[in-house]
Structure 1
Amino acid sequence: MNATTSASPPSRNITDGHAASPRRRDAADSKRRLLEAARALFAERGYDRTTVREIGRRADVDPTMIARYFGGKSALYLESVRPDGTPARVDPLDLTSPDEMTRLVDRVRQIAASPTMSAAIRPHQDPELQDAAMGVLQRLIVEPSTRAAEAAGASDAQLRAEIAAAAAAGVVLSRKSGAFAELTAADSAAVGRLLAQLCSSLLSV
């Protein structure tokens, strides 16, 4: 009787542990498969012609999980186009830092495009995607830059921050496109340093 009673708790603990692990693994695997399917379909058909149902079908995952795991098609797109599935940037970008500007220039050059910047500044058929991209740029670039300009005493801090953000986006996208030969051929560190100087002049008084 005592032996049976003492043996019961460990049995339940082991069972509970085994029950939780597969669920965690299944969620991670489903998210991975959705990302892989999204990358493939967006590359094949583009954003506009790809549906969440098609992504779910190729991934063999319920398409409603896209909203649960990513927040929607637009957020999945911005996540899926990151190289090697690296996580989204969560820290504000300092436009006045030569090192950060150099990393930005390098990163955009390494991938097919800067999806967030491209979606934010170019006309797009899907307002949801453009809004999602603009939200990212506002949170990571414009808002911290506005605070920096306000701290410097600028009365038009928001305008200065938006011009600086537009300048940074224009430089990195133009460099990627090859529109300007000297800009395209220049060393990333040199571009990053000059871009940081430009943004610093805009965000200071």
Structure 2
Amino acid sequence: MTEPAQAEQVGEPAPARRRDAARSRELLLEAAVALFADRGFERTTTREIGERAGVDPALIARYFGGKMQLYLAAVRVEQGDAAPADLLDEDRLRDLLDRFDRRGPGPSFQAAVLPGDSTEVQQAARTHLYERLVAPLRDRFAAEGVERAQLRAELAAAAFSGVILARSSGAFGELAQTESAELLPLLRDLLDGSRPAR
């Protein structure tokens, strides 16, 4: 009789299986996507994510670096790998306005544009914002031969970010109360104005 068979025969527990790190990471990410979408960043705890995933929540720090980095990873999963359309694409702009109206500016957006405590988190958020908002617009402007495409794309992304933050904070009453369908063409004109008229 082999050793493992003997151990089972005398009632000793089988050795604990080592959890697959890749699978644990995947389970945490799946749980995070669902919980962040349902409750948002602030109302979702790492403990709840771990419980839903069936994984020790301490592994969030190990695999992702922390809750914010997990949130950024969840956002990337939700948005997919495809390059987004630029801010001048009407469908893309409408989708962003609708998303911000439903959820407000998420923590990754706020971390990118507002001062924070963690430079690492802020840098990750800024990289994400750059990839999703600035780069596609820069590429469009460059393809159209617009001078200083990078600067103009950053200017448009900054204007968009300012509108979103002011709208969500209620700093400007009419801006906050205007329906996104009415705001959409005005915002597109504002962003399109960041490049010179031809």
Q: What's the counterpart of residue 188 of structure 2?
A: 196
Percent identity among equivalent residues?
Answer: 33
Distance 1:116 1:33, change over 3 A: closer
In structure 2, how many angstroms separate the alpha carbons of the residues matched to 1:203 and 1:89? Answer: 29
Preserved CA contact (<8 Å) 2:32 2:71: no
1:72 to 49, 61, 65: 65
CA RMSD of aligned residues (A): 3.7
* TM-score between both structures, scaled by the size of structure 2: 0.69
Distance 1:41 1:105 in 2: 17
Higher relative contact order (CA 8 A, sep 6+): 1
Q: Relative to structure 2, which stretch is displaced further, 168-177 or 194-203?
A: 194-203
Report the equivalent of 1:87: 78
1:150–1:157 CA contact under 8 A, matched in 2: yes
The alignment status of 1:97 with 2:89, answered yes or no, reads yes
Q: Is the 8 A contact 1:145 1:203 kept in 2?
A: no
**TM-score (norm. length: structure 1):** 0.67
Partner of 1:177: 169
2:147 counterpart residue number: 155
How far has the Cα of 1:158 moved from its partner? 1.0
Greater helix share, 1 or 2?
Answer: 1
Amino acid at match of 2:71: Y
Deviation of residue 170 (structure 1)?
Answer: 0.9
Contact 2:28 2:49 in 1 (8 A): no
Would you say the 8 A contact 1:174–1:180 is kept in 2? yes
Gaps of 5+ in 1: 1-21
Quote the residue 1:166 is aligned against. Answer: 158
Distance 2:137 2:121 in 1: 23
